[in-house]
Structure 1
Amino acid sequence: GELYGLVNVAGGAAPATWMPSTRVTREDWRALFTQNVETMFFMSQAVAAELKSQSLPGSIVSISSISGMNTAPFHIGYGTAKAALVAATRTMAVELATDNIRVNAIAPGVTATPASGTYVDDDVERDRRAIAMGRRGRPEEQAGAILFLLSDLSSYITGQTILVDGGLNLKWTHMGADHTSLFLKDDTFRAAITR
């Protein structure tokens, strides 16, 4: 078939990258930027170049994070990389708009995935307190926003990052007194990242 879009899903951050900003190494920083920004940028660049060479319209959608839209205490490398992804999305959107190539992103909040299960436990009451909709998101809810941005239903939207977080950003009450996320299930991990 004809090329029409790209979804950049590459990214993430290992639990070992959670730490105070005073302890982040250059290696950790570079690895997080490579994983979360470089892959997105160079894949987007390649797809945009191909779409332009064939004079095709298209849509590029990348996965940012709520951590790139707000503060990310003890997770500065990841949050900053996801914020850079948002900035790259906006700049590419301007450059590619006259070629009818739209560039957008989504910023998921806490989503129930196997990967998030490594540091987020099931706590229904905490989720009710922290998230306006009272629960964590599901992967298919993120997929719905991505499909919308890929489709012609969003043909007049470019350069935007849509928060798909159930209203977590509206409350932003999920931090404890020590400024760590209440979603962290392991007190040993919490102590280790704040040292």
Structure 2
Amino acid sequence: MSAPERLRLDGRVVVVSGAGGGGIGTAVTRMAAEAGATVVAVSRSQDNLDEHVAPLAAAGLAVVPLRADASTDDGIAVVIDQVRRLDGALHGLVNVAGGADPTTWMPSTRVSRADWRALFTRNLETAFFMSQAVANELRTTGHPGSIVSVSSVSGMNSAPFHIAYGTAKAAIVAMTRTMAVELAAHDIRVNAVAPGVTQTSASATYVDDDPDRDRRAIALGRRGTPEEQAGAILFLLSDLSSYITGQTLLVDGGLNLKWSHLGADNTSLFLKDESFRATIKEM
């Protein structure tokens, strides 16, 4: 089978939890459908589904908009019921649902139990129980599958003033590794992606537009797009990644590589000798 064929998802059903926000989830929905999958696009907001997902279905893609709250058992049951009524074999799940409102940024000394629990429910608990349900369905039907969850660069490093969110996203990494071991015998792969700063409507609520700052902070010099995150997720869903499980793929443009003392040109700010600076920049 050629590489393009191994990227295809024809005849397969993929669930995208958190598909309606117009960002990563919507991009994954579109790209998975373009790759041949029938996509169950889940959002708890009908308005979001109408705005971002319905146009995909109207354009002829095999996308099924579904209003359901994946943070509840009843909502998950609605998703699985919809999957069972579709043609094609269940193959994949993408857990995008999560995030954090700007009000959740605060010193760790101010985080309340309610703050902590709300962010863990939104980011970790929802992903786990959705994964559990899809894994059980795959085991029952005997089909192989691929589960991909969205962590964050904040879960791969420190997350100052965002401890509950960062810790929940770090827990997704641990969840991914453990489920990968348990489900491998059933030919179910479990992976995650950890996005860096990505241009979405959600991130726009607390990240301003500062190209100079982006060049200083990110090795590739710019923020990512939802499509770039979706591309990595599509790879992990597909047979191109058939020997990959238990991994969390950083998709951050090299944000995690930069040290605080590196300048926009990726050289140390402590270097005085400009000729030396020019020499080490030569490729």
Q: Could you state the TM-score of these two structures normalised by the residue count of structure 2?
A: 0.61
Looking at structure 1, the residues matched to 113 and 94 of structure 2 have their Cα atoms a distance apart, in angstroms, of: 28
SS in 2 for 1:141: helix
| Residue 166 in structure 1 maps to residue 235 in structure 2 | no
- Give the one of 118, 133, 151 matched to 1:64: 151
- Give the one of 200, 210, 213 matched to 1:126: 213
- Give the one of 120, 127, 138 matched to 1:40: 127
- Give the one of 16, 25, 43 matched to 2:112: 25
Paired AA for residue 219 in structure 2: A
Looking at structure 2, the residues matched to 85 and 172 of structure 1 have their Cα atoms a distance apart, in angstroms, of: 25
Given the superposition, is the C-alpha separation of residues 164 and 31 from structure 1 closer, same or farther in structure 2, using an over 3 Å criterion?
same
Paired AA for residue 5 in structure 1: G
Q: Which runs of 4+ in 1 moved over 4 A?
A: none
Match of 1:6 in 2: 93
Looking at structure 1, the residues matched to 123 and 172 of structure 2 have their Cα atoms a distance apart, in angstroms, of: 7
Match of 2:239 in 1: 152
Looking at structure 1, the residues matched to 186 and 259 of structure 2 have their Cα atoms a distance apart, in angstroms, of: 38
Paired AA for residue 15 in structure 1: P
- Give the one of 211, 230, 254 matched to 1:143: 230
Looking at structure 1, the residues matched to 260 and 210 of structure 2 have their Cα atoms a distance apart, in angstroms, of: 15
Match of 1:193 in 2: none
Cα deviation, residue 172, structure 1: 4.5
Looking at structure 1, the residues matched to 212 and 97 of structure 2 have their Cα atoms a distance apart, in angstroms, of: 31
SS in 2 for 1:70: coil
Cα deviation, residue 45, structure 1: 0.2
- Gap runs ≥5 in structure 2: 1-87, 262-283
The answer to which structure, 1 or 2, has the higher relative contact order (CA under 8 A, 6+ apart) is 1
Q: How many residue pairs were aligned?
A: 174
Paired AA for residue 132 in structure 1: A
Match of 2:184 in 1: 97
The root-mean-square deviation of aligned C-alpha atoms, in Å, is 0.9
Cα deviation, residue 173, structure 1: 3.1
Looking at structure 1, the residues matched to 174 and 101 of structure 2 have their Cα atoms a distance apart, in angstroms, of: 23
Looking at structure 2, the residues matched to 135 and 172 of structure 1 have their Cα atoms a distance apart, in angstroms, of: 16
Match of 2:170 in 1: 83
SS in 2 for 1:137: coil
Looking at structure 1, the residues matched to 102 and 259 of structure 2 have their Cα atoms a distance apart, in angstroms, of: 22
Looking at structure 1, the residues matched to 216 and 95 of structure 2 have their Cα atoms a distance apart, in angstroms, of: 31
Match of 2:29 in 1: none
- Gap runs ≥5 in structure 1: 175-195
SS in 1 for 2:89: coil
SS in 1 for 2:220: coil
SS in 2 for 1:110: coil
Listed one character per residue, the Cα deviations across residues 146-185 of structure 1 (whole Å, up to 9, x for unaligned) are 00000000000000000000000000439xxxxxxxxxxx
